[in-house]
Amino acid sequence: MLQVSVLREHTAAVLAGLAKRHYATAEADVQAILGLDQRRKELQTAHDQAQAEANELARQIGGLMKAGNKAEAETLKARTAELKQHTKAHAEELADVEKELQQALYKLPNVPHSSVPAGRSAEDNEVVREVGAKPELPAGAKPHWELIEQYDIIDFALGNKITGAGFPVYKGQGARLQRALINFFLDEAREAGYTEIQPPILVNEASGYGTGQLPDKEGQMYHATADDLYLIPTAEVPITNLYRDEIIAPAQLPILNTGYTPCFRREAGSWGAHVRGLNRLHQFDKVEIVQITQPENSYAALEGMVAHIEGLLQKLELPYRVLRLCGGDMGFTSALTYDLEVWSAAQQRWLEVSSASNFETYQANRLKLRTRTEGGKTQLLHTLNGSALALPRIVAALLENNQTPEGIRLPAALHSYCGFSRIG
């Protein structure tokens, strides 16, 4: 959530940043927020003035009553009652205005970093670098949805039977590969200095608002309405919310956490090869890395997170590329996002497997996540997160890129985790 002070003091810069997102109603929305903020100030001033006058009159009434000047005291009592009505009305309107202001701020996206390209769609994202040679597959190579059927390692029909489309059942070597990848990613994160967290996979509404999933992605989250809880779309939500309403001592920074969770998203469901098989699911496994840093260190931290994710892909022997997302393709809460994509040799296209983002103070302002400066004042921190890694498309690329007549060869980094070096 953007700070009202930033909107007020840097209006032109905010509007220029939102223009990168092609946010059509930016000027109207920002002016509406500033108008609400001004009305809030006016009401607060009127409330405080009326309260101060009532307090002063109460003091005078006491003196008049002691002096036996009852008639004048009664006149002041009438004025005091009138002032109480004013303060009550001001307080009620102030509460309404503050609620409206908060909702308006929730609906305004983050301002992109100056380095974000000003494109409209994924086609306008900037390729930062491409690493690794694309494998040449033999004639008759199969996409992963045929390979998993051939080797009987994932069953979409069973998942559809017990739950619905987009909820696959992993079995045999497929289940063991899932567990191996999760453990590999967690071990790599721990060695990089991240503390492992095992969070709940259901969160309350306050947590959804804290990291920006609500109200922006309300329709994409599974909602357990009886208890008003949400299934998480990513471990970012519970892990970052560990620090909601906290003031973190500078000595504790930076905070580095990692966690594995299943993730749930209602967005799957369109047709075509681009969403076939493991390309898009309602439930999938992911290891997340989360950082909380001082503002001056956050962009160095983001580059370090990207380097960590690249290291995983290199150990998995997957060709990949790093993209800097343009304004029109960025997430609602992000100031700068890098996507990492692996090459799918059988599908002949890039598959996104990770996003690493710096949210600057956007989430921290919602979370009231702060530290103290040397002068004792509180300061909002910066939050970051990245997928390290999401499993479905990693598995898809591993299966497709490493298929041989003798089975599917697995990278050496996974052999000890899997207990086997080949599927099939």
Q: Which residue has the tokens 């006058």?
A: 53
As a whole number of angstroms, the distance between CA 183 and CA 267 comes to: 27
Q: Which of 366, 370, 393, 400 is catalytic?
A: 393
Quote the pLDDT of residue 270: 52
Is 387 annotated as contributing to ligand binding? Answer: no
Q: Is-catalytic flag, 276? A: no
Quote the pLDDT of residue 61: 86
Q: Is-catalytic flag, 422? A: no
- Indicate the burial class of 124 (C-beta count within 10 angstroms; 0-12, 13-18, 19 or more): middle
As a whole number of angstroms, the distance between CA 185 and CA 222 comes to: 26
Q: Which of 355, 370, 387, 400 is catalytic?
A: 355
Q: Is-catalytic flag, 265? A: yes
CB contact at 8 A, 231 and 222? yes
Is 352 annotated as contributing to ligand binding? Answer: yes
Q: Which of 265, 298, 360, 370 is catalytic?
A: 265
Sheet holding 407-409, edge to edge: 403-404, 407-409, 422-423
Sheet holding 195-196, edge to edge: 126-131, 320-324, 336-344, 349-358, 382-390, 283-293, 255-264, 195-196
Q: Which of 280, 341, 360, 370 is catalytic?
A: 280
CB contact at 8 A, 290 and 385? yes
Quote the pLDDT of residue 241: 98
Q: Which of 321, 352, 409, 422 is catalytic?
A: 352
Helices 26-66/70-106 angle, 10° precision: 160
Other Cβ atoms within 10 Å of 177 Cβ, number: 25
Its CATH architecture, for the domain 122-423, is 2-Layer Sandwich (3.30)
Quote the pLDDT of residue 63: 84
Q: Is-catalytic flag, 352? A: yes
Is 203 annotated as contributing to ligand binding? Answer: no
Its CATH architecture, for the domain 4-106, is Orthogonal Bundle (1.10)
Where along the chain do its domains lie? 4-106, 122-423
CA diameter of the chain: 108
* Digitized pLDDT (tens) for each residue of the chain, 424 residues in all: 999 999 999 999 999 999 999 999 999 999 999 999 999 999 999 999 998 988 889 889 888 888 888 888 888 888 889 888 989 999 999 999 999 999 999 999 999 999 999 999 999 999 999 999 999 998 899 999 999 999 999 999 999 999 999 999 999 999 999 999 999 999 999 999 999 999 999 999 999 999 999 998 888 999 999 999 999 999 999 999 999 999 999 999 999 999 999 999 997 555 555 679 999 999 999 999 999 999 999 999 999 999 999 999 999 999 999 999 999 999 999 999 999 999 999 999 999 999 999 999 999 999 999 999 988 999 999 999 999 999 999 999 999 999 999 999 999 999 999 999 999 9
DSSP E strands: which ranges in 119-219? 126-131, 154-155, 169-170, 195-196, 202-204
Is 341 annotated as contributing to ligand binding? Answer: no
Q: Is-catalytic flag, 366? A: no
